[in-house]
Amino acid sequence: MKVDNSKEWHWFTGGILVSLLSVATYFIFAAIADRNYPFGITAGFGYIAAFFGNMFGGLSENPVIKRFGEKPDAFIEFFILIGLIAGGYTASKISGTLSPENIPAVWEKYHGKSLVKRYVFVLIGSVLLGYGAALAGGCTTGNILQGWAHLSLGSIVAGISFFAAGIITAKILYPKLGGNDASN
């Protein structure tokens, strides 16, 4: 299966731009909020979780819900989340890659067209993703893009764990591509 990558930016361009964004964000944050803030995404999801926890669960006294519900970080990261959606939309619109799809094409090729099957996997995967990000104190953005740049020992352990478990999971889902056989 060939994917059209002709409209993509070079990895170096993207990488440098992200680094400038990280540093600028940190810098501006220190100025407006008087705090050291490596931007992340996880707390934005935490803000949504806190919303539902307060609405339906009566979890307002729970320390995690309290933190995500009241901390300014989480409020800002909720809007980072909204901004990400708008940014993804705009970039794909401009490059003509806006492609509504229910299931990734590669998944469909190897695991079938069943929407229910993919959505069950998505639900399990995303619950693990949320739980893991909360426990590890950040996702790929917070722990690798920011944490590795800060040479945080905690983030280095977290990031290596992301890859270790991700590599094993990918091998289980796509066993035929493993090893040195690149013929398919």
Q: In whole angstroms, give the CA distance from residue 149 to residue 170.
A: 26
Interface with other proteins, residue 116, by CB under 8 A: no
Closest distance between other proteins and the C-beta of residue 113, in Å? 13
Q: Is 54 in the site for other proteins (CB under 8 A)?
A: no
User: Under rule CB under 8 A, how many of the chain's residues touch other proteins?
Assistant: 137
Count of alpha carbons within 13 angstroms of residue 124, beta-carbon side: 7
Q: Is 118 near other proteins (CB under 8 A)?
A: yes
Of 70 and 167, nearer to other proteins (C-beta) is 167
For the chain, report the end-to-end CA distance as a whole number of angstroms: 9
Q: One symbol per residue from 164 to 183: x for binding other proteins (CB under 8 A), - otherwise; what is it?
A: xxxxxxxxxxx--xx---x-
DSSP-derived letter for residue 9 is P
Residue holding tokens 């056989």? 181
**Three-state DSSP state, 64:** helix
Binding residues among 133-152 for other proteins as defined by CB under 8 A: 133-141, 143-152
Q: Which is nearer to other proteins, 14 or 112 (CB)?
A: 14
The backbone torsions φ and ψ at residue 139, rounded to the nearest 5 degrees and listed phi first, read -105, -155
Compute the chain's Rg from CA coordinates: 19
Rule CB under 8 A: say whether 89 interacts with other proteins: yes
DSSP state of 175: G
Q: Which of 34, 85, 96, 116 binds other proteins (CB under 8 A)?
A: 85
Q: Is 111 in the site for other proteins (CB under 8 A)?
A: no
